Amino acid sequence: MAPPDAHPEDSQQWSLESLNKAYQQGYMAGLTGQTIDQQPYPAEVLAAAWEAGWDDGHDQYELQRPSRIA
């Protein structure tokens, strides 16, 4: 049973596998320069995993971009 203050989508089942998949999808999105607003998960836990992956992937994307000298 979910805690009384939990959101309905938080009570959905998630596994380590689904968290890893969400993270990997977010990582690839960040790595390829996609915007964070393309996050596809309604469940907060999976959304957080996707966003963590996006953050890591986006960091790598920024490192790979040529530096802009003004």
Calculate the average pLDDT of the chain. 85
Q: Which fold has domain 14-64?
A: Arc Repressor Mutant, subunit A (1.10.10)
Give me the tens of pLDDT residue by residue for the chain, a chain 70 residues long.
344 444 444 446 789 999 999 999 999 999 999 999 999 999 999 999 999 999 999 999 999 887 655 5
pTM, 2 dp? 0.76
Axis crossing angle, helix 16-31 with helix 44-64, rounded to the nearest 10? 30
pLDDT for 12: 63
CA distance 16 to 21: 9
In whole angstroms, give the CA distance from residue 40 to residue 36: 10
Q: Tens digit of pLDDT for each residue in 44-53?
A: 999 999 999 9
